[in-house]
Structure 1
Amino acid sequence: MSIEKLEKEAWAAYFDSMSKVLAGKQAEIDVESLELGAQVASRFAPLHGITYDHKSDMLEIMLERWEHNISHVHEIWIDRDGISLNSIMVLDSDGVEQIIKLRDPLTLPDPQLAAGARRQDPGSGAPR
């Protein structure tokens, strides 16, 4: 696990290059500040992308049913294992921390394959 601060000049390029790695991930967004306390802005939902627009100084997190924007970004910290990104901490100019937690979606077994496995006798491997 490695936690590192991204330099502002690299934000746009970093999130553009990470879009392929983040495809299929789910994201949860937590917002924390002295005024607000700790709040969950979004429970885990499919992530469509994250971009930084330097003209508007805004980080945009696109989820399945909504978009979460963070304006006046001051710092971005990432927590990663190799190329796998675990979370992103964004600090805005008001001191509000927004933490984007990432995870892979749960994968369920194919119902047809699971049904076929149940029809076989586990001792002999032959169908019942």
Structure 2
Amino acid sequence: MKQKIDEYEWRVTLDNVSKSLSGQRAEVEIASLSLGDQIAAEWLPVLGITYDSGDDIVEVALEGVDHIISRPRELHLQLTDGHVAAIEIIDGDGIQHIVKFKEPLMLAGP
């Protein structure tokens, strides 16, 4: 289920989602008509996701990668079984940034 988040809720929503992502990994995909689909980060540990209204940016902090989305204009959550499976952000240039989440795989015991 895809849920659009109103701009006045972006900071609080992303703060809450960020807290629930501890121990998860994320992939960042960028999609636009001019660029096609590109992977900006591939299954790295999530450090946090924030919205800064003063600078008008969304920051996706992953281990070793700081993905900045300037002038966001839309934010959607993709929910699966009540959990956030992905965040879709469309920036001021119409470029779609999709942050997909997965829990780390547990290794089987000996």
TM-score (normalizing by structure 1): 0.82
What's 1:66 paired with? 65
1:93-127 superposed Cα distances (whole Å, 9 cap, x missing partner): 111001101110111134xxx1xxxxxxxxxxxxx
Within 2, Cα distance between the matches of 1:52 and 1:40?
21
Compute the displacement of 1:81 (Å).
2.8
Where does structure 2 lack aligned partners over 5 or more consecutive residues? none
CA RMSD of aligned residues (A): 1.1
What's 2:38 paired with? 39
Compute the displacement of 1:19 (Å).
2.2
The DSSP-based 3-state class of the residue aligned with 1:73 is: coil
Within 1, Cα distance between the matches of 2:19 and 2:69?
22
Identity of aligned residues (%): 35
Higher fraction of strand:
2
Q: Superposition pairs for residues 43-62 of structure 1, below 5 Å?
A: 43-62=42-61
Within 1, Cα distance between the matches of 2:50 and 2:81?
21
Higher fraction of helix:
1
Size of the aligned set, in residue pairs, is: 110
Flag the structure with larger Rg: 1
What's 2:8 paired with? 9
Which fold has the larger relative contact order, with Cα–Cα distance below 8 Å and residues 6 or more apart in sequence?
A: 2
In the TM superposition, structure 1's runs of 4+ consecutive aligned residues that sit over 4 Å from their partners are none
Where does structure 1 lack aligned partners over 5 or more consecutive residues? 115-128
The DSSP-based 3-state class of the residue aligned with 1:67 is: strand
TM-score (normalizing by structure 2): 0.94
